[in-house]
Structure 1
Amino acid sequence: MSVFSTPIAIAYHLVTGLADVLHPFAGGLATVAAIVVFTAIVRLCLVPFAVSQARGERSRAKLLPQMQAIQKKHAKNPQRLQREMAALYEKEGTPLAGCLPTLLQMPFFFVMYRLFMSATIAGHQNALLAHTLLAAPLGQNWISTLGMGFFSPASAVFLGLFALLALVAYVSSRRIKAEGPIGNITKLLPFTTLVMAAFVPLAAAVYLLTTTTWTAIERGVLQRRIVTA
C-alpha cells in the first residue's frame, strides 16, 4: 500500500464534496473550482510560515551590507569566508524559513498529482477522471494531447494555462531583489512551473497556477506590511 493511499482517499472525498457544493454555482467547472478551493485552504493554513518567510527576508536584507563586506574581504579565502558567514548568521539569528511554505505544500501537490493519476481510489473507480476543464480531461497532461495536434482543443486549454503561469512567474520574478549570478538563477525559478505543468495532469497544473498566484499576491501584501515596516 502506498504511503499516499490514505491522503489520496481523503483528498478524493474532499474534492468531490467541494465539487458537489460548488456545482450550483460553477456548473461543469465545479471540480476545477473545488481544486482551486482545496489549494486555497492549503495555502491559508501555511500563512504563518509565509509571514515567517517575509520576516526572514527582511532580516537578510538588513544583513546584506555586512555579507557583502565579508565576501569582499575574504574573496580569496573560501574557508575563511564560509566561517565568517556562518558566524554572522549565528550571531544575528537570521531565520531560515524561506523555503518552508514551498516545502510544506509539496505533499499536497503530490497528493493532487496522484489523485488524478489513479484509476481507482480505495478500490473504487476514480470518478474525478471523467471531469474536464473545457475540452481537456483533468487527468490528462499536455504531452499526451500533442498527438491530437498542437492547437487541438485540449492542447489549447493547456496553452492558455501556460500563458497564465508565465504571467504569474513574470510578476514573481520581477519582485525578486537578489543580484549577481545567484540572483539571476533565483529570478528564473518561478518559470520552472511551466515545465512542471507540461508533464503533470491538468488538475495538478491548476493547483500550480492557483498556488503560484496565491504566492505572488501574498508576497506583495507581506512586503508592504512586513518587509517595508
Structure 2
Amino acid sequence: MDNVDLDVTDGRVLGLVGESGSGKSTIARAVLGLAPVHAGTITAGGQEVRRLSARQRARRVQMIFQDPFGSLNPRMNVGGIIREGLEALGELPARERAAEVTRLLELVSLSPDLAERLPRRLSGGQRQRVAIARALAARPGVLIADEITSALDVSVQAQVLNVLRGILAAERFSMLFISHNLAVVRYISDDIAVMRDGVIVETGPVDEVLAAPRHPYTRELLAAIPQLHPVT
C-alpha cells in the first residue's frame, strides 16, 4: 500500500474496486488487525482501531468473507453461529438471544427454521446470508464485504446483493464493499475508490466517476464490462 487514504462516510457504501492483486483485501485485513500497518492510522468512530481491544473492535468493524463455507464453523448450526456473536459481546440478555437470531435471519430473507441446520445443508447463497446475519449481530458501525459474491452463481449473486441493499435501507451503518466487478460495485455503492498496484488512482461519487472517469485505468475497467449489442 502506498499513501492509501479512504473515508467510509457514515451511512454510505464505499465501493473499492480493482483487479486481483491490487491490494483490496490487504486493506480489509489491515482494518481488522490481521495485516501489519507500518505507517499511518486506521480509525473507526473516531478511535484508532489498533488501540482497541478485540471486543471493542468487533463493535466497530465486522467482515463478511469471500468464501461463505470456509468462514462458517461446520460443527455449529446456523442459530449457534449467529448466537455466538451475540454472546461474545454480552450486551443482550440470554432470554432475548433466540428472538434476535430469528430477527437477523428474517432480515437476510432466511426462514427461522434454518436455525437448526448445519452450514453444509445450505446453498451457497444461503450460507452467505448467514455470514451477513452473523456480522450484523455485533451491530457494527462499519461492515466490510470482501468479494462476497465472487464465489456465487450470477442469479444467486443478484439475490445476495438485493438482500444487502434491503438491509442498507433498513439499518443505518457504513460499508466498505470490495470487488473486482465494476458492475456490482456500481449497483451497491454510493461512492467509489479505484485501486491499482496498491495505489488509489481515483475516488468520488459512483455516478460521477463512472460517467466521466478521469484515470485511464478506470476507463479500462469500464471498457472490460461485457456489453450486449442487438443484432440488426
**Does TM-score exceed 0.5, indicating one fold?**
no
Larger Rg: 1
Give the TM-score, by structure 1 length.
Answer: 0.30
Higher strand fraction: Structure 1 or Structure 2?
Answer: 2
Give the TM-score, by structure 2 length.
Answer: 0.29
